[in-house]
Amino acid sequence: MKHRKYLETAGLGWNAIKASPLRTVLTSLIISFGIMALVGILSATDALKQTLETNFTSLGANTLTVRSSQGGFFVGGAEYRENPKITYRQAEAFKKRMDYPGAITSITYIAGGTAKLAYENIATNPNNMVTAVDENYLITGGFELSEGRNFTSDDVFSGRNYTILGNETKKTLFGDAPATGKMIKIQGKPYMVVGVLAEKGNSGMFSGDRGAWVTLTYARSNFTAGVPNYVISTMAPNAQLLNAVEGHATALMRSVRKLSPKERDNFSIVRSDSVAKSLIENLSMVTKVAFIIGIITLLGASIALMNIMLVSVTERTREIGTRKAIGATKRSITQQFLTEAIIITQLGGWTGILFGIAIGNVVAQQIGGHFFIPWIWIIVAFIMSVGVGLLAGWYPAKKAADLDPVEALRYE
């Protein structure tokens, strides 16, 4: 019986909404803009967070990198001192002495930043980076091969003129044909292709699709421009042991650099997840701002809805008086107006949710994200729209329920 009465009340509310379509559409649009802004921005930021976490995981989530921090300065009175570069001997000593169980260490340096690669009569633009690496680099860097093999320790020790190509560079030189076993030229010198990296995709920041990787020992003999600044990467057995490996690496690097206990570190250790965490924290600030903007917009929408509902109460005074005269209770009148308010907010809310998801994912895909449906924020938006309906409809509903039926019938 109660269920039937509620359906009748809802039906009366829906008929009243249909009687004023323009007013309903305008009110719903105000609410939908607030919900759309909220869901849209949060869809984009959540999709971007997910993409960042995926991209950084593919780079080696358990890896920390030891650098000289060249360009960073220490302050000692008025004296500024630049960190010394990490030499080959220091890097090799670190790798040999890094005995943490299960840890894998690699050594690398940038051999050339503007190299031109050629195969027969096809050549790339001179914008390929040549990286000198050892046999562990692809493991610590989170790379995968789509063709061929990785360097072996014997390849590196013997200084063989082998190369591994980035996916984009391989396609430029060979198209869809296999590249493994072919001889190419890098800066005029011959190299045999032994592998091709799997496509990383364009994340907007980190890409391993363009360039060439050569054996460390061979690069030291054939790329002699300047003094190399070596970079060391160490991959922990798992993420839980990353802190322990970081402490071990710090102590070892201080020993390799022959620093006294009083001297400060003249190197830096960067965790692979530190940049991702920093970016995600900044995105969290965007999420908070978006939530505040959505709340403010919905507050404005609730005020507009309340005013419209009050106007509706005034216009329907005689109707309310008639309903009361034939036996309608205060409760039924209150339910009718609250139902009208909730239906209007739900129309606007779900319109805003659908447009918000669409806009958010379009923006996310433009900046390198993937399609994402923010179920949590959809639930939040639904609850908020219901809350707006109750907040905005309560006072007009109470005012309508408190009308004196005799006075209401006399209203012109």
pLDDT tops 90 at residue 38 = no
pLDDT above 70: percentage of residues in the chain: 79
Q: What does the pLDDT average to over 124-146?
A: 89
What phi and psi values does residue 112 have, to the nearest 5 degrees? -165, 140
Domain range summary for the chain, segments of one domain joined by + = 2-56+277-410, 63-271
Nearest to 370 by CA among 185, 249, 201, 252: 201
DSSP string for residues in 181-227: T-EEEETTEEEEEEEEEPP----SS---SSSEEEEHHHHHHH--SS-
Write out pLDDT tens, residues 217-247.
999 888 866 778 899 999 988 878 888 999 9
Q: Which of 9-13, 171-175, 380-384 has the lowest mean pLDDT?
A: 9-13
**In DSSP terms, which residues pair with 162 in a beta bridge?**
192
Rounded to the nearest 5 degrees, what angle is found at the Cα of 85, between the Cα atoms of 79 and 91? 145
pLDDT tops 50 at residue 78 = no
If you average pLDDT over each of 79-83, 103-107, 387-391, which comes out highest?
Answer: 103-107
Dihedral in degrees, nearest 10, Cα atoms 319, 325, 327, 328: 30
Q: Residue 76 has what pLDDT? A: 42
Residue 245's SS3 state is helix
Helices (H) and strands (E) in the chain, counts: 13, 14
Q: What does the pLDDT average to over 253-269?
A: 90
Q: Residue 199 has what pLDDT? A: 82
pLDDT tops 70 at residue 41 = yes
Q: What does the pLDDT average to over 63-88?
A: 66
Q: Which of 57-61, 99-103, 273-277 has the lowest mean pLDDT?
A: 57-61
Q: What does the pLDDT average to over 162-180?
A: 92
**In DSSP terms, which residues pair with 75 in a beta bridge?**
80
